[in-house]
Amino acid sequence: MFENLPKFVFFTGKGGVGKTSLACATSVNLADAGQKVLLVSTDPASNVGQVFDTRIGNHIKPIANVPGLEALEIDPEAAAEDYREKILGPIRASLPEKAVASIQEQLSGACTTEIAAFDEFTALLTDEALTGRYDHIIFDTAPTGHTIRLLKLPGAWSGFLETGGDASCLGPLAGLDKQRERYAAAVQSLSDEALTRLVLVARPRTSSMVEAARTHRELADIGIRNQHLAINGMMPAEASDDALATSMIERERTAVEDADSELAGLPQSHFYLRPENLVGLDALRRMNQPVETLRSETPRRALVDLPPLSRLVDDIEADGKGLVMTMGKGGVGKTTIAAAVAVELAARGHEVLLTTTDPAAHLTETLAGDVDNLTVSRIDPEVETQVYRDHIMATRGASLDAEGRKMLEEDLRSPCTEEIAVFQAFSKTIREAGRKFVIMDTAPTGHTLLLLDATGSYHRDIMRHAGETSAHMVTPMMRLQDPAQTKVLIVTLPEATPVLEAARLQDDLKRAEITPYAWVVNASLAATETSHPLLVARAATEAPEIARVEETLSARYSVVPMLADDPVGAEKLRALVGRSKERA
């Protein structure tokens, strides 16, 4: 599967790219070859136990029927809770309730979870008595370059906070000083090419390859250069008269050929789309074998059972105006869904503003010329983020010493910073939703919204100064919390990990008192009429995930089919919407 692997191997990538499957299959492959292997998962959406059909948990456990393989699941949520308590426990009684609440919110986001997980697995990297028992330690999910840069910075983080620092990711680092020596050793191990290889897992799609290129550069810049690119889920390039299969092959070929030159220069392994979910030892061991395009024995859900996007647009249209926000992890297609909803509403005669951070200029150009009633605005995240960073450094950073400014600059590289900056730019357009439809692509998470509020956001400042007139004030945050004014669409894919991550996003939003309006399950094979044996088999695996959305996650949802052609331009975007029974 992978040749000449060093002691430590990390599999990293966005949710749903298949890093857990590759990590598990690699571990089994090594153990079958006589190696002693420890498989460690730090993924918040870990399904390692499900893959091996056994409960693993946070203690090392042998995997049945695989001599030489043991596994451990680090629970990031439990680790994050313990980590929060380490920091909050000693100060809870001595600070005002509002201050504690502010710090607690700073400690509630992805940075804390990632750092807490890093805190757990650094023990594995630096415990020679433990690591000496294994030939290989395989990690499912590695830390980002942002986290490693933070851990490499010198200085007292808690001291920074005590002097008034309130940026997004410094809070999680407040309790790290005592363990810096261990962290330094762990970071050194990650940078040692003789000890560590980092496998970037991506799907053969443009957005996924762009994300992998970004991760490659970020890690290379901090000294982690022993990288390997694994392109997972490729459609076998075989002759077919199925239009969807033929189109997928061509799109994937283009995405791989057009990839960033530095990424393309890495050693590569390609893994093909399987007709089965990679669950169980037999399926993992078959991963290295040729794909058998067998027809599925499980009947696919009938097309008529899957509610089209048009039905959801019917419901949205009923109000005649309002804000519609698409949210979701990278690569699930939220930009495309936002554009499809906007085009459909405009085609029905409504005035629509589509505001997006989509870097794909061809989409903007197509919409601008071809759709009546539709205005498109594009916010440049890089520009808005730089403006925001400059403002923070000129205000909060003005009173800091050189070390404090360095730490603040590093913190402002956090993903939260871009979310906040972009949201502030978006906020200028929110009030237009009082007279027309505003479709907003790429929205901040609930954590970021709460962080804005907890650290002196526009909403809190306005309400505090409004006094008796506050009853008549309507802030952007209040609009987002009002279901009569804002409809949040959570976009996901019909696969286990993307659905789990979308469920976590929904919980995050509810903490900010924002209840999603509906879910959109995008790029579904079950909603197509494909006859290709491999795709029919894959369509059958979607049924449990679609059922989970319908039965436990959202009272209102739609399923959007995977199209044979890229959904660019008004006609193809409207094809994504489909037709409800009322308009058939």
As a three-state string, the secondary structure of 45-102 is CCCHHHHCCCCCCCCCEECCCCCCEEEEECCHHHHHHHHHHHHHCCCCCCCCHHHHHH
Taking CA 216 as the corner, what is the angle to CA 248 and CA 568, rounded to the nearest 5 degrees? 30
| Per-residue pLDDT band at 299 (split at 50, 70, 90) | very low
SS (H, E, C) 244-298: HHHHHHHHHHHHHHCCCHHHHCCCEEEEECCCCCCCCHHHHHHHHCCCCCCCCCC
Note the pLDDT of residue 134. 96
CA–CA separation, 330 vs 439, rounded Å? 18
Token pair, residue 401, equals 């010493």
30 or 419, which is more confident:
30
Report the alpha-carbon distance of residue 88 to residue 118 in Å, rounded. Answer: 19
Would you call 20 a catalytic residue per the annotation? yes
Q: Which band of pLDDT confidence, cut at 50, 70 and 90, is reported for residue 298?
A: very low
Active site annotation includes 314: no
SS3 of residue 39 by DSSP: strand
When mean pLDDT is compared across 150-154, 186-190, 287-291, 298-302, the lowest value belongs to: 298-302
Q: Mean per-residue pLDDT for 306-326?
A: 94
Q: What pLDDT shows up at residue 496?
A: 84
DSSP state of 12: E
What are phi and psi for residue 274, nearest 5 degrees? -100, 150
> Percentages helix, strand, coil for the chain, rounded to the nearest 5?
50, 15, 35
- Let me know: does 330 contact 498? Beta carbons within 8 Å: no
Catalytic residue selected from 18, 328, 333, 397 = 18
Given 12, 14, 15, 21, the catalytic residue: 21
**How many Å from the N-terminal Cα to the C-terminal Cα in the chain?**
50
Percent of the chain whose predicted confidence (pLDDT) is above 90: 34
**Residue for token pair 């909603």:** 527
Distances (CA, A) of 303 to 293, 524, 526, 530, 550: 22, 11, 7, 11, 15
Report the C-alpha gap between 479 and 449 in whole angstroms.
Answer: 12
pLDDT of residue 547 exceeding 90, the answer is yes
pLDDT grade for 407, boundaries at 50, 70 and 90: confident
Cα–Cα dist 550/298, whole Å: 19
pLDDT of residue 420: 79
User: SS3 of 423, please?
Assistant: helix
CA-derived radius of gyration, the chain: 24
Q: How far apart are CA 214 and CA 345, in angstroms?
A: 35
Instruction: Rank 36-50, 200-214, 233-247, 308-322 by mean pLDDT and report only the highest.
Output: 308-322
Rounded Cα–Cα distance for residues 243 and 248 (Å): 9
Residue 457: is its pLDDT beyond 50? no
Mean pLDDT of 445-458: 57
| 579 CB neighbour count, 10 Å cutoff | 13
Q: Could you state, in order of their start, the residue ranges of all structural domains in the chain?
A: 8-288, 303-352+423-583
Q: What is the pLDDT of residues 154-178, one digit of tens each?
A: 444 444 444 444 444 544 455 555 5
pLDDT higher than threshold 50 for residue 40 = yes
Query: Pick the catalytic residue: 41, 112, 240, 497?
Result: 497
Flag whether pLDDT at 61 surpasses 90: yes
Instruction: Report the pLDDT value the prediction gives residue 469, as an integer from 0 to 100.
Output: 45
Task: Give the β-pairing of 69-73 and 8-12.
Answer: unpaired
Give 76 or 254, the one with higher predicted confidence.
Answer: 254
Intrachain domains 8-288 and 303-352+423-583 with the same fold: yes
Q: How far is CA 74 from CA 43, 47, 57, in A?
A: 8, 12, 7
* List 12, 42, 43, 355, catalytic entry: 43
Beta-strand ranges (E) seen in 203-256 are 227-234
Q: What is the mean pLDDT of the chain?
A: 80
Q: CA-to-CA distance for 448 and 512, rounded, in angstroms?
A: 9
Handedness of CA 438, 443, 447, 453 (dihedral sign): negative
Q: For 497-516, b where at least 16 C-beta lie within 10 A, e where not — what string? A: bbbbbbbbbbebbeebebeb
Please tell me the predicted confidence (pLDDT) of residue 486: 93
Please report which helix (H) or strand (E) contains residue 352, including its range: strand 352-356
Residue 581: is its pLDDT beyond 80? no
Catalytic site residue 331?
no
**Looking at the predicted structure, is the pLDDT value of residue 460 above 50?**
no
Supply the pLDDT for residue 178.
55
Query: What tokens appear for 214 in the block?
Result: 């970004």
The whole-number pLDDT of residue 466 equals 45
Residue 254 backbone zone (phi > 0: left; psi -120 to 50: alpha; other: beta): alpha
Percent of the chain with pLDDT over 70: 79
pLDDT the model gives residue 22: 93
Q: Which of 132-146, 176-190, 474-488, 541-555 is predicted most confidently? A: 541-555
**pLDDT the model gives residue 363:** 58
Mean per-residue pLDDT for 459-471?
Answer: 46
Does the structure show a pLDDT above 90 at 213? Answer: yes
Biggest distance spanned by C-alpha atoms of the chain: 74
Active-site position among 16, 68, 175, 397: 16
Question: Which run of H or E residues covers position 131?
Answer: helix 128-131
Contact in structure between 300 and 540 (CB atoms under 8 Å): yes
H helix intervals, 402-524: 402-411, 415-430, 446-454, 458-466, 476-481, 496-511
- pLDDT (average), residues 520-534: 92
To the query of whether residue 18 is one of the catalytic residues in this protein, the response is: yes
pLDDT for the residue numbered 456? 41
pLDDT surpassing 50 at residue 189: yes
CATH homologous superfamily for the domain 303-352+423-583: P-loop containing nucleotide triphosphate hydrolases (3.40.50.300)
Q: Distance (Å, rounded) from C-alpha 390 to C-alpha 388? A: 5
Strand 69-73, strand 61-62: pairing = antiparallel
259 phi-psi bin (left φ>0, alpha ψ -120 to 50, beta other): beta
Kindly state the average pLDDT of the residues 48-71. 89
Active-site residue among 20, 310, 356, 475?
A: 20
Identify the CA nearest to 346 among candidates 309, 315, 313.
313
Please tell me the least confidently modeled range out of 402-406, 444-448, 519-523, 548-552: 444-448
- pLDDT the model gives residue 475: 65
pLDDT in tens, 243-274: 999 999 999 999 999 999 999 999 999 999 98
Would you say residue 582 has pLDDT above 50?
A: no
Burial code (b: 16+ CB inside 10 Å, e: under 16) for 278-293 equals bbebebbebbeeebeb
Q: How does residue 9 score in pLDDT terms, banded at 50, 70 and 90? A: very high
Is 90 exceeded by the pLDDT of residue 283?
no
| CATH code assigned to 8-288 | 3.40.50.300
Q: Which residue has the higher pLDDT, 123 or 255?
A: 255
Burial status of residue 443 (CB atoms within 10 A of its CB: 0-12, 13-18, 19 or more): buried
Give the C-alpha separation, 149 to 167, whole Å: 16
pLDDT value at position 110? 65
What is the rounded CA–CA span in Å between residue 535 and residue 296?
A: 9
Q: Which of 19, 329, 334, 487 is catalytic?
A: 19
Is 580 tagged catalytic?
no
